[in-house]
Amino acid sequence: MVQTKRWNLQDDQLYNEKAIEEAAHMLMSGSLVAFPTETVYGLGADATSEQAVRKIFAAKGRPQDNPLIAHVATKRQLKALVTELPLYVEKLIDAFSPGPITYVLPSNGSCAQNVTAGLATVAVRIPSHPVALQLMEACDRPIAAPSANISGKPSPTTADHVWDDLSGKIAGLIDGGPTGVGMESTVLDCTKEQPLILRPGAITKEAIQQVSRMNVNSAQDIHPSKPPSPGMKYKHYTPEVSLWLVSGTPREINIIIDQEKRKGKRVGVMAQDETIKHLSADHKVSLGNNINEVATHLYDTLRSFKLSDVDLIICETFPEVGIGQAVMNRLRKAASKYI
Ligand code: TXA
Ligand code: MG
């Protein structure tokens, strides 16, 4: 056990600057620090140190064959990690980075080999959250950072989620408030002639297509049963309570809820405002007013259901447009049943 130092950032600019400086120092001396990004909280380590990166796998209980994303502050730093940068990736970087997109590119070996899990490619992202950017700038080195949760739990969207999972196991945690997007970044394989989406996120296929002027495929469409990257074979986001995805009208969803209630189960539901007002369950949590709000609140809501409250969570389905693609991708991974 270590004592986890927590910095609560506020409006005090001087305090914030000092906190980021201290956190950068911790990272550079080989310790783990969790920090906010615009997507989810990340668990950072010096990506050039195999020893520091090893601590990430230990703290999260993460399988060794699941590679990590290297986070940098600038395009120049990104270029320093790869052997080549196709023209279309330059265009994508100019359009979307800093932002919620990760590029998988041929690695030049600058990152420790456990960052890439021994692959010839490296995943690189420039986060747009000001705290993450300032931290990356202060380190002047790539920072390996997976989501800052225990493997198998939903990604953390608040510092309290990180604290629940990792306090006592990591050196530091920067609390920069709740993250905005709520879904992990789009992971784009840029090693082939055409870009391939390995994990959908806030930067959509349509947006990538428009900027790159290329045909973009999603790995899940081409090989629905094959994991697009080594890490994606794992069933992420397993909630504590079993989750059923139910498509249909509120009336149809109510029929399923009633069936389960009659079996003596306490049923929880999560759905958008518009749907939830028509549902009759033991415990109701709204995911918000639109699909962006659903993305922002999904993980927090999943974490909020406890086995003591309900025996089953029922969630409505969402149209797979925009960030709805990412939301449905995560929900399908979390669900034990799709009705
Ligand atoms: O938004 C995000 O991407 C967050 C924040 C913290 O930046 N990070 C994140 O990291 O979600 P993580 O480790 O939870 O997910 C990274 C995903 C994994 O599915 C991993 O398998 C994939 O990226 N990945 C990493 N390196 C790869 C590579 N070289 N080739 C293919 N997939 C890779
Ligand atoms: Mg993760």
* Predicted local confidence at residue 238, as pLDDT: 66
Tell me what the pLDDT averaged over the chain comes to: 94
pLDDT at position 228 is 67
User: What mean pLDDT comes out for the span 109-126?
Assistant: 97
Instruction: Answer whether 69 contacts ligand 1 (Cβ < 6 A).
Output: yes
* % of the chain at pLDDT higher than 90: 88
Q: Please list, residue by residue across 107-141, b when 16 or more beta carbons sit within 10 angstroms of its beta carbon and e when fewer do.
A: beebbbebbbbebebbbbbbbbbebbbbbbebbeb
Q: Output the pTM of the full model.
A: 0.95
Tens-digit pLDDT profile for residues 186-240: 999 999 989 999 999 999 999 999 999 999 999 988 776 666 666 666 655 666 7
Q: Is 68 in the pocket of ligand 1 (CB under 6 A)?
A: yes
The torsion angles phi and psi of 72, rounded to 5 degrees, stand at -135, 170
- 243 pairs with which residues across the strands? 313
The ligand 1 atom at the shortest distance from the C-alpha of residue 121 is 29
- What is the pLDDT, as a whole number, of residue 211? 98
How many other CB atoms are there within 10 angstroms of residue 179's CB atom? 26
Q: Which of 131, 133, 147, 299 to mutate to test the pocket of ligand 1 (most atoms within 8 A of CB)?
A: 147
What does the pLDDT read at residue 236? Answer: 59
Q: How far is the CA of 46 from the centre of ligand 1 (A)?
A: 16
User: Residue of the nearest CA to atom 32 in ligand 1?
Assistant: 229
Is the distance from the beta carbon of residue 16 to the nearest atom of ligand 1 less than 6 Å? no
From first CA to last CA, the distance across the chain in angstroms is: 44
Does ligand 1 come within 6 angstroms of the Cβ of 145? yes
Helix %, strand %, coil % of the chain (to 5): 35, 20, 45
Tell me how far apart the alpha carbons of residues 96 and 88 are, in angstroms, rounded to a whole number: 12
Supply the pLDDT for residue 307. Answer: 74
Question: Nearest bound ligand to CA 36?
Answer: 1
Is 187 touching ligand 1 by the criterion CB < 6 Å? yes
Residue-wise pLDDT for 317-333, tens only, equals 999 999 999 999 999 98
Measured CA to CA, the distance from residue 183 to residue 178 in angstroms comes to 12
Three-state DSSP state, 71 = strand
Q: Is the CB of 146 under 6 A from ligand 1?
A: yes
Name the residue among 132, 120, 139, 49 with its Cα closest to residue 82: 120
pLDDT tens readout for residues 16-74: 999 999 999 999 999 999 999 999 999 999 999 999 999 999 999 999 899 999 999 99
pLDDT value of residue 270: 96
- Is residue 184 in contact with ligand 1, taking CB distance under 6 Å? yes
pLDDT of residue 48: 98
